[in-house]
Chain A
Amino acid sequence: MEYLAPIIIGLFLLAVFLRIDFYFHVVYLLAGAYVLARLWTRYGIQHLEAQRRLDRGDRAFPGESVAVELRLRNTGRLPLPWVEIHDSLPVDLISPPFYREVVTLKGKEEQRFTYTLTCYKRGYYPLGPLSLQTGDVLGLAPDLSRRSQREYLIVYPRVLSLEKLGLPTHSPLAQLPTPTPLFEDPTNIIGVRPYMAGDSPRRIHWTATANSGQLLVKRYRAAIARESLVCLDLDMNDYPTRRIYDAVELAIVASASIANHVVNQERLGVGLATQAVDPLQDATVQFSLPPHRGRAHLMNILEVLARAQMTDKAPQPFPDFLRKESLALPWGCTLIVITGCETEALSDALAYLRRTGFAIALILVMPPAPGADTTQRGALLNVPVHRVWQETALEAL
């Protein structure tokens, strides 16, 4: 009620000037209702707590359903006449993309509400913010609202078998010059490099770290490595315009499937390097996860693949990015390059990497089969070329 305050003041002045005592009863009644309504609303919103719980945690795989439980609690002693709950949700998980309800809460009362999210596709989905609004029963005080922080649900990319993708199952997809399982010689340090997520604490060079003030890890001289790095191209200019969405998603699925295969089937280390838009930072960033073994590292890779989005503002062209990433890799490592088109610059980069001593496998994600030139060039460089565009894989998307 917008004009109540001026009315109360006017009435008070009228009562003072006319000196009619009982007018003050009316002033007190209106002012009392006004003040009580305001204090009640403010007290109510201060003592309102909301919590969101996901039954499967904040991670899920495509096809799974996640039950979300909202807990609304009035911690104060005063009741709340009405509370409007509005939880904003991603349209890819639920339709309509929100959960709304109006409830009334007694003092110290708790209520729970449940809704289900269905994970159809990979992504990094914000849940919320959860908005709570309350007010008084007479409309004398303005409604107050508060918002809780957003939470996030990560839906991992789909993981398919390599047969479904039409890829060979012998890993690491390229011929290794020697089967000797030597990776790095810890007695032979050739330098240091900045610490990256996933590096073992044992590799940290404490002296160099203390000197430089930056966390640095040791680089050992490499022997032949049987580690693999998946280099994923997410530059939208490198994919066919007509079916760009399918192509990019298929490239991500292929990356996830290969990483899964290498870790779970071959029991080898795998890493990921890509340039993509990160919704968490709302910017194009370079992801570099060095090769490691184990399920935990695989989950890290899948998490990055879940939230990576294609970009049109890659910091570096993909061939240059490959060259840069190769600098931190041990000799003999396998690079699995996944892209949407094969260009001359890419061929040059692959030739350079091959000469440097890396094993290379090129996976092209595009509708037409690779041309004769591409295959010939691959054969010349001893780089196996594969194409991913199987109907079974597309159906699974």
Chain B
Amino acid sequence: MAKKFFGRRFLPPLILSGMMACIALSAAQFVQIVAPDWNSAMLVIMPVLAVFLAHQSNRIAHQRYLSGTELFRFQAIELLTLFIVIKGAGYLDNTLAEIAAEARGWEQNPGSFFDGETLFAVALTYAGWLAAWSTADDLDELADATRYEGRDYGRPLARLQGKFFLGGLCLLLFTGLTHNQLIETARLTQPDLSTLVFNVLLYFIGGLILLGQLRLTRQERVWVTQKVRLTPALHTRWIQYTLILLSIALGIAFLLPTGYTLSFLDLVRLVIAFLTYLIGLLYFLFILPFTYIFSLLNHSTPPAELPPPLPQPLPQETFPSAGTTGNLWWEVLRSVIFWLIALTALGYVLRSYWKDHPELWAQLQRFRPLTLLVDVFRGVWGWLRQARRDLGEQATRAISRWRAWRAHIPLISNKRRPLGASQREEVFYYYLSTLDQAQAAGAPRRHNQTPYEYRQALTPQLPEAQEAWTELTEAFVTARYSERPVDAENLAGVRDAARQVQAALHTLTDEQNEKTENAK
């Protein structure tokens, strides 16, 4: 109960305050560069305080059932108090005489009361306060199953997610500006960069943990409304698994490369240049012997065609600029790895998004050129897949022939497996080729044996391939004596089973040969 109380009452404001601290810290770092005499500590402390305050005030307002004018007055007083505190905090390092002198200046120039430092701090604090207040409202709505019954469960969660990403955008904006300012003024050091990265990642990790808890709250609310029984271990495991997931994601974020020297277009240009060079080189090597032979045949006359010129090496402008340090090829490799990983991850994300939103495709189908492009892509993709499959099959056949040849076993006649054989005929082929190998291993099938009888007879000799042997026999009997269609999936299974059995038969053959030699 105490855990639940802590989870509901204190955990969200604590995480929110932490996230606000991250944004405020990045703003303060930026301010330190732009206006070094501003009080950056105040810029961090006040928004964090405002977030915590807004959360507690929101709770009090709900407890007192404040609404309308009363609520407005309550909020106005709090915001005014915050303004006074900010203004007062700005004078903490001033003497009383300085404060009095400045106060006298307000009468002559009222605008000086609102100086830039105060306005920036107030804007940041008020933004934090308002965000925290509306977040508290959303959290209440998300958790309270009775007050908001009948409404869309997902809306408060969607609003909270929106705020999380908006805050993240602000944070990235401040951090990016700080980063660029530091680069421009050549003041970027490793500790500065680490602080920036740590700050940003802390915000997003905190936000994702909070989103995980919000997801649990929402799901729990749905389940409680539907009177579904919940297991007691759910809360504990939920937070455990959230932390595990985020730890792995964080590990990935740190392990994957972030730096690159070649832009994507440069890289594409480099790859095209490399491929052109490679094709040229191959053409040169291919044509060279023919040119030599022709030159020998026509030795009386000078050769009509000279050997083709060697392809030009890769142009220097395709490589990273000379300003980069370190090994040139290492830089290229690093860029290639970076783009490969980044584009793969991005491709997966895009594909997943596309799959989850089929309505997008329906809308895009109205755009004819795109559908034509997709059709062309599908055609090429299908052709490539077919080619890969054909090549794979050819390779498998070649490997099995080579194995048979190596084991000195008579090759299986091609008559049994004509080119373009149906899938049913292929099953026959695998079974009959296995029978041939069994015969070579000294365990032939007798004419009066049914496939099942032969299976029983051969099984003791193939202890390690019993299941595969049974599967192969079953597949043969089904293909031979029933009209059940043989599909590609079945065929793949039969092929694997045949391979296993044939491998076992090879071993058996070797053992037989050894025994024969020993006997001799």
Interface residues of A (CB under 8 A from B): 1-3, 5-9, 11-12, 14, 16, 18, 20-38, 40, 79, 81-82, 84, 96, 100-104, 136-139, 141-142
The chain B residue with its CB closest to the CB of A7 is B165
Residues of B within 8 A of A142 (CB): 356
Residues of B within 8 A of A103 (CB): 231, 234
B138 to chain A, nearest CB (A): 15
Contact of B342 among A24, A84, A101, A137 (CB under 8 A): A24
Contacts known (A40-B245, A100-B228); A22 close to B349, Cβ less than 8 A: no
A95 to chain B, nearest CB (A): 13
Residues of A within 8 A of B246 (CB): 33
Q: Are A139 and B211 in contact (CB under 8 A)?
A: yes
Contact of B228 among A79, A101, A139 (CB under 8 A): A101
Report the Cα distance A139→B200, complex, angstroms: 21
Residues of B within 8 A of A11 (CB): 172
Q: Are A102 and B230 in contact (CB under 8 A)?
A: yes
Q: Which of the segments B101-109, B248-256, B292-300 contacts the partner chain? A: B248-256
Report the Cα distance A24→B197, complex, angstroms: 10
Q: B346 in the interface, Cβ–Cβ < 8 Å?
A: yes
A276 to chain B, nearest CB (A): 34
Q: Are A9 and B346 in contact (CB under 8 A)?
A: yes
Residues of B within 8 A of A21 (CB): 258-259
Residues of A within 8 A of B345 (CB): 27-28, 31-32, 35
Q: Are A82 and B342 in contact (CB under 8 A)?
A: no
Interface residues of B (CB under 8 A from A): 157-158, 161, 165, 168, 172, 175-176, 179-180, 193, 196-197, 200-201, 204-205, 208, 211-212, 215-216, 218-219, 223, 226-231, 233-234, 237-238, 241-242, 245-246, 248-250, 252-254, 256, 258-259, 263-264, 342, 345-346, 348-350, 352-353, 356
B254 to chain A, nearest CB (A): 7
B487 to chain A, nearest CB (A): 21
Helix, strand, loop or mixed for chain A's interface?
helix
B321 to chain A, nearest CB (A): 13
Closest 5 A/B residue pairs (Cβ) = A5-B353, A32-B249, A32-B252, A24-B258, A28-B253
Q: Are B231 and A102 in contact (CB under 8 A)?
A: yes
Residues of A within 8 A of B226 (CB): 100
A336 to chain B, nearest CB (A): 44
Residues of A within 8 A of B342 (CB): 12, 24, 27
Contact of A22 among B168, B193, B219 (CB under 8 A): B193
Q: Are A25 and B353 in contact (CB under 8 A)?
A: no
Q: Are B249 and A26 in contact (CB under 8 A)?
A: no
Contacts known (A22-B200, A26-B172); A139 close to B237, Cβ less than 8 A: no
With A26-B204, A100-B228, A100-B229 known, 13 other A-B pairs at CB within 8 A are A3-B165, A5-B349, A9-B349, A14-B172, A20-B176, A22-B200, A23-B172, A28-B258, A29-B249, A36-B245, A81-B238, A101-B229, A102-B229
Q: Are A28 and B252 in contact (CB under 8 A)?
A: yes
The chain A residue with its CB closest to the CB of B231 is A103
Q: Are B179 and A138 in contact (CB under 8 A)?
A: no
Q: Are A16 and B346 in contact (CB under 8 A)?
A: no
Q: Are A34 and B245 in contact (CB under 8 A)?
A: no
Report the Cα distance A24→B176, complex, angstroms: 12
Contacts known (A29-B204, A102-B230); A23 close to B165, Cβ less than 8 A: no
The chain A residue with its CB closest to the CB of B223 is A102
Q: Are B258 and A137 in contact (CB under 8 A)?
A: no
Residues of B within 8 A of A29 (CB): 201, 204-205, 249-250, 252-253
A28 to chain B, nearest CB (A): 4
Residues of A within 8 A of B227 (CB): 96, 100
Q: Are A79 and B241 in contact (CB under 8 A)?
A: yes
A-B contact pairs, 20 of them (CB 8 A): A3-B161, A7-B165, A9-B350, A11-B172, A20-B180, A22-B196, A22-B258, A26-B200, A26-B201, A29-B253, A31-B348, A33-B208, A37-B245, A81-B237, A82-B238, A100-B228, A100-B229, A101-B230, A102-B231, A104-B238
Q: Are B249 and A137 in contact (CB under 8 A)?
A: no
Q: Are B231 and A101 in contact (CB under 8 A)?
A: yes
Report the Cα distance A31→B341, complex, angstroms: 11
Report the Cα distance A96→B228, complex, angstroms: 11
Contacts known (A20-B176, A22-B179, A25-B201); A137 close to B356, Cβ less than 8 A: no
B398 to chain A, nearest CB (A): 34
Q: Are A33 and B197 in contact (CB under 8 A)?
A: no
The chain B residue with its CB closest to the CB of A142 is B356
Q: Are A20 and B179 in contact (CB under 8 A)?
A: yes
Q: Are A137 and B242 in contact (CB under 8 A)?
A: yes
Report the Cα distance A40→B245, complex, angstroms: 9
Contacts known (A25-B200, A29-B250, A104-B237); A137 close to B230, Cβ less than 8 A: no
B205 to chain A, nearest CB (A): 8
The chain A residue with its CB closest to the CB of B237 is A104
Q: Are A137 and B250 in contact (CB under 8 A)?
A: no
Q: Are B161 and A1 in contact (CB under 8 A)?
A: yes
Report the Cα distance A25→B233, complex, angstroms: 33
Q: Are B172 and A137 in contact (CB under 8 A)?
A: no
Contact of B349 among A2, A8, A84, A137 (CB under 8 A): A8
A82 to chain B, nearest CB (A): 6
Report the Cα distance A38→B249, complex, angstroms: 13
Report the Cα distance A2→B357, complex, angstroms: 9
Report the Cα distance A28→B257, complex, angstroms: 10
Q: Are A36 and B256 in contact (CB under 8 A)?
A: no
Residues of B within 8 A of A139 (CB): 157, 211-212, 215, 218
Contact of B253 among A25, A84, A100 (CB under 8 A): A25
Residues of B within 8 A of A137 (CB): 212, 215-216, 238, 241-242, 245
Q: Are A138 and B212 in contact (CB under 8 A)?
A: yes
Report the Cα distance A25→B242, complex, angstroms: 19
Residues of B within 8 A of A38 (CB): 352
Report the Cα distance A7→B242, complex, angstroms: 21
Report the Cα distance A141→B355, complex, angstroms: 11
Contacts known (A26-B200, A102-B234); A18 close to B176, Cβ less than 8 A: yes
A130 to chain B, nearest CB (A): 15
Could you say which of A22, A34, A102 has the most chain B C-beta atoms within 10 Å of its C-beta? Answer: A22
The chain A residue with its CB closest to the CB of B173 is A14
Report the Cα distance A265→B211, complex, angstroms: 71
Report the Cα distance A101→B249, complex, angstroms: 30
Contact of B241 among A8, A24, A30, A81 (CB under 8 A): A81
Q: Are B228 and A84 in contact (CB under 8 A)?
A: yes
The chain B residue with its CB closest to the CB of A23 is B172
Residues of A within 8 A of B212 (CB): 137-139
Contact of B208 among A9, A22, A28, A138 (CB under 8 A): A138
B188 to chain A, nearest CB (A): 11
Residues of A within 8 A of B263 (CB): 16
The chain B residue with its CB closest to the CB of A1 is B161
Q: Are B193 and A16 in contact (CB under 8 A)?
A: no
Q: Are B242 and A34 in contact (CB under 8 A)?
A: no
Q: Are A138 and B215 in contact (CB under 8 A)?
A: yes
A108 to chain B, nearest CB (A): 15
Report the Cα distance A37→B252, complex, angstroms: 14
B195 to chain A, nearest CB (A): 11
Report the Cα distance A82→B219, complex, angstroms: 10
A382 to chain B, nearest CB (A): 55
Residues of A within 8 A of B229 (CB): 100-102
Contacts known (A31-B345, A137-B216); A36 close to B234, Cβ less than 8 A: no
Contacts known (A16-B264, A29-B201, A38-B352); A102 close to B176, Cβ less than 8 A: no
A45 to chain B, nearest CB (A): 15
Q: Are A32 and B248 in contact (CB under 8 A)?
A: yes
Contact of A138 among B196, B211, B252, B352 (CB under 8 A): B211
Contacts known (A24-B342, A136-B245, A137-B212); A35 close to B231, Cβ less than 8 A: no
The chain B residue with its CB closest to the CB of A85 is B228
Residues of B within 8 A of A101 (CB): 228-231
Report the Cα distance A261→B216, complex, angstroms: 60
B157 to chain A, nearest CB (A): 8
Contact of A28 among B172, B230, B238, B256 (CB under 8 A): B256
Contact of A82 among B234, B258, B346 (CB under 8 A): B234
A99 to chain B, nearest CB (A): 9
